[in-house]
Structure 1
Amino acid sequence: MRVGLYPGTFDPVTLGHIDIIERGLALVDRLVIGVAINRDKGPLFDLEERVAMIERECAAITARCGGEIVVHPFENLLIDCAREVGANVIVRGLRAVADFEYEFQMVGMNRALDASIETVFLMADARRQAIASKLVKEIARLGGDVSKFVPPMVKNELLKKFA
């Protein structure tokens, strides 16, 4: 069975994330969405809220596309999480060249820790390349319309946070 792990903080999940999830799902039998607990980033949404948003959006994806998606919070090393969930591939999304430098370093370190786990990069859809969770939160905080960047239920959650 091909198991993929798509890790991230998903604070919040965006249409860019959804695009990578749908395309990543086509490559594997099971896609695990690893929701990172990263205290250094100081997320807007707590872990339970982020997991709930991802689960809600993934239920819609599997209803539309089929496949198996599992949401798995983690706080350990990415490579250890991949081993935990039985992933043989890590799925990463790239928006721009700037993303590549960081991801390139991560792949090197992960390969040194476990060469049996591959990393696959999916380029963001051209319509989604500018979407970043950090920018979405800033737009929402300042009263802008984020409906082009996040699913409707996520937009509602952002509006509640910044009400």
Structure 2
Amino acid sequence: MKVAVYPGTFDPITLGHLDIIRRGAHLVDKLVVGVTTNPSKEPMFSVEERLAMVKREVADISGHIEVVEFGSLLMDFAEQQGATAILRGLRAVADFEYEFQMAGMNQKLNDEIETVFLMADVSLQPIASKLVKEIARFGGCIDKFVTPAVAADVRGHLDGGSR
């Protein structure tokens, strides 16, 4: 069974993330979406909220998809999941430079797990969770970047008080 891990903070999950998940799920027998915390990204949602959000959003995507929390080194998590690949989405050259460095480091940690890059759909390339949150915090419309349910989650979170 070919297993890939797609790691991220998914804070919040965007249409770009869902595009990579949908396409990645067709490449492997099982896709594990690993939801983690990156404190430097100042998450809007708790890990539990993001897990629930991602599970809801991937429920109708075909393929064997599992959504799992992790708080360890990515390669350790990938090994625990029995992964043969790490799936990463690319939007721009800046993404490639960072991801290329990470892929090289990960290969040094375990050269039996490949990193596979998928280019984001052209229409979704500018979308970044950080920018979605910034637009929402300033009262802008985020409907072009996330699903209606995620937009409601973000609005509800901001109406209830931001972190």
Shorter-chain TM band:
over 0.9
Q: Indicate if the aligned counterparts of 1:38 and 1:75 stay in contact, CA closer than 8 A.
A: no
Structure 2 partner of 1:89? 85
Do the aligned partners of 1:88 and 1:116 also contact (CA within 8 Å) in 2? Answer: yes
How far does the alpha carbon of each residue in 1:101-130 deviate from its partner, in whole angstroms, 9 at most, with x for none? 110110110000000000000000000000
1:43-91 residue CA offsets vs partner (Å, 9 max, x unmatched):
0000010000000011021xxxx21100111111110010011110000
Partner of 1:68: 64
TM-score w.r.t. length of structure 1: 0.96
Partner of 2:13: 13
SS in 1 for 2:60: helix
Aligned with 2:132: secondary structure?
helix
1:56 aligns with 2:52: no
* Distance across 1 between alignment mates of 2:136 and 2:41: 18
Root-mean-square deviation over aligned CA pairs:
0.7
Equivalent position of 2:143 in the other structure: 147
Aligned equivalent of 1:124: 120
CA distance in 2, matches of 1:147, 1:75: 30
- Partner of residue 31, structure 2: 31
Work out the CA distance in 1 between the residues paired with 2:2 and 2:116: 13
**Which ranges of structure 2 fall in alignment gaps of 5 or more residues?**
none
* Structure 1 unaligned residues grouped into runs of 5+: none
- Alignment partner for residue 135 of structure 1, among 109, 131, 136? 131
Q: Secondary structure at the match of 1:148?
A: coil
Post-superposition shift, 1:35?
0.4
Which stretches of structure 1, 4 residues or longer, exceed 6 Å deviation after superposition? none
Letter in 1 for 2:148: P
**In the alignment, residue 117 of structure 1 is paired with which amino acid?**
I
